[in-house]
Structure formats: structure tokens, C-alpha cells
Amino acid sequence: MATILPCEIEFLAEDELIKVTPRFREARLQMISGNYGPFAPGVPLKIPIWMAMNLKSRGLVIVHQPRWMSAEKLKEWLDSENADNTNAIAPLHYHYREISRMILQNCRDNLSDVTEIEQLIEDIWNVRVSKLKMSCKNVLKERWQNEIPDHGGVFKVNNFTQMEVNFIRANFLKGLNVSFVMSNKITDIEQKAAAHQLADDTTNTSSFPTGSSASTLSQFTQSQTQN
Amino acid sequence: MDLSMVDRSPGNYLDLEDIVMSDSKIPCRSRFHLKNIDLHSVPEEFDEGKKIELPLWLAESMTEFVRHEFPKEYTTRFQSILRADPEIVNLHRHEPKYFAKGLKLSSEKLDFPDPRDTVIMLETLLEAASRRMLWIAMQASASKINQSKVECKLDDGEKVHYSQLIAQQEEYKEWKTGRTGIIKESKDRFKSI
């Protein structure tokens, strides 16, 4: 079962815009994904993360810390996550894991509270992934205890990011597939056994009509008598 | 082995895993007095009710002549052990393709005495497979664990799944530490003698 790699998810996240202050002058750049610039020293603007990382590695920009990536906001988020044992809170950014990794690796000198932010991101990730794993475990448990619908079941994942869902994808999908195949087989056998039983019962019935046909006959007889 | 391929004829006709699995034997009992049956390169005679071990692919074709029985790994006694604690059972020792064979045993071509036994067997397999899958995921994400000790207990399908989970964990760790861009030696390199 093919899954997307973490580096591929990061590649998709690199299209997000981030605020930078350039140290060079350049006219507006016309790219396929959009127009960026013009670049003037000391004038902040928003550019994609892939461009920001490239310019940062060449010393041409100062990358601004995203507003959601402050120690206070992350602490609040972690406290909200810890307060609810079952459901995940809506993330501060859909690509928080990927963006934080790129910025912490390439732009440490532009950030404040680096160590604290690293630890908070790691704690938030651990809490959210453990909630997701628990939900998956409960779903698989329900499938072996109860009947699975004919279409296999529809599941909705709320407030989890692509990176988090990808982390549990392989195991969860395998569990769903295996339980679906086996459950289908059980249903087939039970239906065939029931059909076989019904066929046996039908061949063993007497010659007198029974059920609805008998009541119809008696009603006809009664109406004849009345007439 | 992909379980959805087990009972899907003719899709599984060329599947090597299915061919190997179908070669494993199940106990059968002859319905009639059978003469000149050449199972072991010498013609033999089987009285009615005599126990014969036949490979699965042959047992399916001989439903007219034999009644099928569940192998001991799929009987009530073993199933009750599996239901109680599926994580500790060494499935590889009993049957390398345990779940695939269990699914194959539920085929309508096989004639077991009571269909309810087949349903109970499948329900036990379903629960055991799900619980073991959760246990395998937990073992794959544990940091310091002897992987060979885990692998030796798994059936072939579970081994493939376990190695995929381990690879996924490695990919994630490498991405987290920023080592995905490093060029590495290919695992397919043959060492020169």
C-alpha cells in the first residue's frame, strides 16, 4: 500500500507564504505560482517558503517568525490539547509540523525561544498523534465486535493535519481492509446457510396452503356464505 | 499476502503466495471405500471414514469423495488460545500463512460438517488479526526493541506489514532530523567477493 513520504508532504507545504525582509533590490518576479516582489531592502513582503529558504541560505533575507509559532500561542495550544483526551483541537496551522521543522533548521538566528518552541511542537505532535492512534484503535475494535456495513464504513477525520494522518495511514487502512474482507466472508456464509435452511423448510411443508394464501381462501369462503 | 486476493479466482491463479499456501495440507475423511489412490507414489486403498491428509488445492476438487476437517490450528482449542491472547501466539511456527489459509478454508468448495464452525473460526480470525495489527503497530513505533524477536512470531502477511511500518518510522525519523537529502548507499548493492 503506497503512502506519501514526509518529505513529499513538506514539499507541498513549501508553497505556503511566509513574511521576509529582503536585503537586496529586485523587480517583481513572475513565477508560475504567482508574482512576488518587488524586493526592496528593509521592506517586508510575503513569499513562498521554498523561495524564502533559498534566499535565506544565500543570506539575502531575514525570515520573520510566524505569528502562530510563538511560545505563548504554542503553550496555549498544548494546554487545550491536554484538556481534551479524545478530540483534537483545530491546529494553528495545517502544516505546523513541516513549517516549524524548516524554519527551525534554517532560520534559528531569526527566532526567539528556539529550544522552547522545539519542545512544544514535539509535545503537541505526540499528544495529537496519540489521540489519533487511540481513535483508530477504537474504530478497529468496533469493527470486530459489531457488524461492518456493506460499503465498508465511512470515516471522517476532524482537525488532524496531513502529516499526522499519513503517520497512521498504513496501519489503519490495512486494519480496515482485513476486517472488511473477513466480515464480508462471514456475511456470505451466514446468508448462504440461511438460504439453504429456507430451501429445506420450503420442501418440508404440507400440501394444505398456509400463511396468507390460507387466510385469503377462508375470507372467500366467508363472503360466499354471507352472500 | 493480500487477503482480498485469497478467494478471488481467477485473479489469484498466478499469485505465487496463493500457490504456496494452497499446497499446505488439511485433514479429510473418505466418504466411500476408495481403491488404487496414488497419493504417495504407491497405489493405496482407503476404507470409508479413513483420515487422509490432502493439499488444499486437491481437497477442494475432491469434495465428492472426501469430507473436510479443520486443521488443528483452526480447531476450537487453538482458536480459544488465540482469542484469549493473540499477541503472544507464535503463528509462524504453526502456519506461516495463517490468516490467508483461514480465509481459504471458508471457501464454499470445501465441505465442513457445520457452517457455524466456519463462521466462528472467521470471527476469531477477525478479532485476532485486528488485535495483532494494533500490537504490531505498537512494536514498530517502540524505540528500543529486538525486531527479530517480534518478526519470528508473525505470519508472512504480518511480516510484510511490520517491515513496512518499520520503514515508515525510519523515513519519518530521517525527515525529522533533516537527513532525507543525504545520498545513501543502495540496499540492492551486491558486495563483491
Mutation choice for B interface testing from A102, A182, A187, A192 by most B CBs within 10 A: A182
C-alpha distances in Å from residue A41, one per residue of A22, A23, A27, B21:
5, 4, 12, 70
B180 contact residues in A (CB cutoff 8 A): 5-7
Provide residues of A within 8 Å CB-CB of chain B.
1, 3, 5-7, 10, 101, 105, 133, 137, 140-141, 143-144, 167, 170-171, 174-175, 177-179, 181-183, 185-186, 189-190, 192-193
pLDDT at A207: 44
Query: How is A194-208 classified by DSSP, letter by letter?
Result: HHHHHHHHHHT--SS
Give the distance from residue A175's alpha carbon to the nearest chain B alpha carbon, in angstroms.
6
Chain B's closest residue to A171, CA to CA, is B137
B176 contact residues in A (CB cutoff 8 A): 6, 101
- Spans in chain B with pLDDT lower than 70: 1-2, 4-12, 39, 187-193
Mean pLDDT on A164-172: 91
Give the highest mean pLDDT range of A123-132, A217-226, B24-33.
A123-132
Does pLDDT of A226 surpass 60?
no
Long-range Cβ contacts of A218-225 (<8 Å, 24+ apart): none
Query: Which CATH code fits B71-179?
Result: 1.20.58.2050
Q: Do the beta carbons of residue B102 and residue B94 sit within 8 Å? A: no
The model carries a pTM of 0.82
pLDDT at B145: 75
pLDDT at A160: 94
Contact flag A174-B4 (C-beta cutoff 8 Å): no
For B41, residues 6+ apart whose C-beta sits below 8 A from its C-beta are none
pLDDT tens string A183-199: 888 888 888 888 877 77
pLDDT tens string A45-63: 999 999 999 999 999 999 9
B118 contact residues in A (CB cutoff 8 A): 189
Residue A32 DSSP code: S
More confident residue, A28 or A154: A28
Chain B's closest residue to A134, CA to CA, is B134
Query: Measuring CA to CA, which residue among B113, B34, B100, B107 is closest to residue B67?
Result: B113
Q: Is B160 on the interface with A (CB under 8 A)?
A: no
Please state, rounded to an integer, the average pLDDT across all residues of chain A: 85
- How far apart CA A225 and CA A219 sit, in angstroms, is 10
Assign A152 a pLDDT band (cuts: 50, 70, 90): confident
Does an H or E element contain A166, and which?
helix A162-203
The predicted complex's ipTM stands at 0.82
Give the distance from residue B103's alpha carbon to the nearest chain A alpha carbon, in angstroms.
7
pLDDT tens string A86-121: 889 999 999 999 999 999 999 998 888 899 999 999
pLDDT at A74: 95
Q: Prior bond to B10 cis, omega within 30?
A: yes
Query: How is B24-67 classified by DSSP, letter by letter?
Result: SEEEEEESS-EEEE-SSSS-EEE-TT-EEEEEHHHHHHTTTTEE
Q: What does the block give as the cell for B85?
A: 491472547
pLDDT tens string B30-83: 888 877 777 677 777 778 888 888 888 888 888 888 889 999 888 888 888 888
pLDDT at A222: 33
Q: What does the block give as the cell for A137?
A: 484503535
Extended beta strands in chain B, E state = 25-30, 34-37, 44-46, 51-55, 66-68
Q: Prior bond to A6 cis, omega within 30?
A: no
